[in-house]
Amino acid sequence: MTTRYTKDHEWVRLDGDIATVGITQYAAEQLGDVVYAELPEPGRSFKQGDDMAVVESAKTASDVYAPVSGEIVEVNAEIKNENWQIINDGPEADGWFVKLKLADKTELDALMDEAAYADYVKGL
59-104 per-position pLDDT tens digit:
899 999 999 999 999 999 999 999 999 999 999 999 999 999 999 9
What the chain holds in terms of domains, given with CATH numbers, is 3-119 (2.40.50.100)
CA distance 65 to 6: 9
Pairing of β 18-23 and β 51-57: unpaired
Q: What is the pLDDT of residues 6-45, one digit of tens each?
A: 999 999 999 999 999 999 999 999 999 999 999 999 999 9
